[in-house]
Structure 1
């Protein structure tokens, strides 16, 4: 396991390819990139492909054309909706923070879209440096010192792995935060709006079955989730003094009390 340390990925990729497996399951796009550099023949699948075409993992989403395919849970327009959701939670918000480890290939497009949407809304943005798990605490502290009124936590592998730590630290600072995955909310985060990550990985099992049955990954289109879900943690809302409107609660797919 890389344990959210990007510098460990090359060595782990080498070990995986050296085993000559029938199939490699990559936990994220950055892992898939590392493995693909080492093999063009071993099938590679992932439930968290991001920016796969621009990263050279696939020729196109409809016809991957190589040895990589899977599910892309990063839907265009969704990061902007997360900014809008934060403003619903905090109607008079003026300054927000983005928590993101920008070396993750999934983070850049999200950050760019959020920045554009925030600019249109007239919101100031704070994006502290975050190079590894050890920087999470200082990044949240920096946003608090900058006076951010809300935080959006980007959808990256490292931040998902650190969801319990993030929920506690953000809660300690009493800052409302929006997440992309309901797993953050289950760990104590306030509210999430995004795709069902479990659905994405369940779909990967179907890819594995078809590839091991003889279908080449080049013939299996990349899938995109068709549904987004909202989860709200009322216990967290009460703890940090945030009132969630009845309208927002009615829209939620899951309310944790």
Structure 2
């Protein structure tokens, strides 16, 4: 009898404790690391990729602050800081690292071989040595790539369409990075003379950049999608308008004449799906890298009027968005 009473008490205690254990397990929040090469967002200048990622996570049932904690780290364009920031995330024991851009992802790859790393805004992850192949990444990395070998040519062709007499084009990039898309070669193939310029640091001398462009009589400025140019994109757009110089940016919200490139917001939205699958048990090594090429064209007619450029009707018809 005593034995039965003891067993009954254990069973009752178990039924009481089980929900408590379950609640305790549910209350443990998942920690995600978000590593970016650009500037830390502010209320006045939020990061659209982080915003979209948060919204997409919430759609999958992971609300920031309730179900997950997102630890963000930003290099502010100082790419040499990324290894230390990635190492800090490892020390924090985050469950997954989300890396934006090849340099940030390379830092995360060097910092850990066990924590899953999901990447975006990486043009060619195989050529960058991040994954073995798109189909079978191997290791602890997977994610999304915007690799379109024809994108540089498409941008230059668009500039020629908007500016029929264009002969020379300035290309502005990041001093710390090479042009992996071959804009110079593509420009020459289209009969254009390229002028390559680089900026670096927190306060680059953009006046010198535009003086160099004016000296060479470049008829347009194509801004490469790289960390230094992303950080200073609004200043670049403002100064280009001041110099009445037509600009083409990638999808960045810089405020230039034209924006054309793969929608990074769409890429960031899909990235949450990878995080969800990994949290549910999938291994990065087995998740194929997804190629996202959904190009978006934005034309700013306000800038066009300001600098005296007429946008051809055919270009306006193709535009996903026209800013009046």
The residue that corresponds to 2:223 in the other structure is 153
Equivalent of 1:233 in 283, 295, 300: 300
Question: What TM-score, normalized to structure 1?
Answer: 0.92
- Tell me whether 1:18 sits opposite 2:85 in the alignment: no
Which of residues 195, 220, 232 is equivalent to 1:162? 232
Of residues 109, 112, 115 in structure 1, which corresponds to 2:180? Answer: 109
Helix, strand or coil for the counterpart of 1:97?
A: strand
State the alpha-carbon separation in 2 of the partners of residues 91 and 115 from structure 1. Answer: 19
Partner of 1:118: 187
1:218 equivalent in alignment to 2:258: no
1:77-226 to structure 2, matched below 5 A, reads 77-104=150-177, 107-110=178-181, 112=182, 114-135=183-204, 137=206, 138-181=208-251, 183-184=252-253, 187-226=254-293
Q: Structure 1 CA distance, aligned partners of 2:76 and 2:293?
A: 30
Partner of 2:66: none
Shift of 1:88: 0.9
Distance in structure 1 (CA, Å) of the matches to 2:201 and 2:150: 27
Q: Which residue is 2:315 aligned to?
A: 248
Higher relative contact order (CA 8 A, sep 6+): 1
Q: Which residue of 2 aligns with 1:48?
A: 121
User: Counterpart of 1:74?
Assistant: 147
Question: 1:136 offset after TM fit, Å?
Answer: 5.7
**Residues matched between the structures, number:** 250
Moved over 3 A (4+): none
Q: 1:129 to 1:226 in 2, by over 3 A?
A: closer
Do the aligned partners of 2:83 and 2:111 also contact (CA within 8 Å) in 1? no
| Structure 1 residue 202, shift from structure 2 partner | 0.7
Equivalent of 2:136 in 63, 82, 91? 63
Instruction: Name stretches of at least 5 consecutive residues in structure 1 with no aligned partner.
Output: none
Could you list the runs of 5+ residues in structure 2 that have no partner in the other structure?
1-73
Cα RMSD between the aligned structures? 1.5
Partner of 2:39: none
CA radius of gyration, larger in? 2
Q: Which has the higher strand share?
A: 2
TM-score normalised per structure 2: 0.74
Alpha carbons 1:47, 1:203 under 8 Å: kept: no
Query: Deviations for 1:157-211, whole angstroms, at most 9, x for unmatched residues?
Result: 3322322112111111111011221x33xx3211122111100001111111111
CA distance in 2 between counterparts of 1:76 and 1:133 reads 31
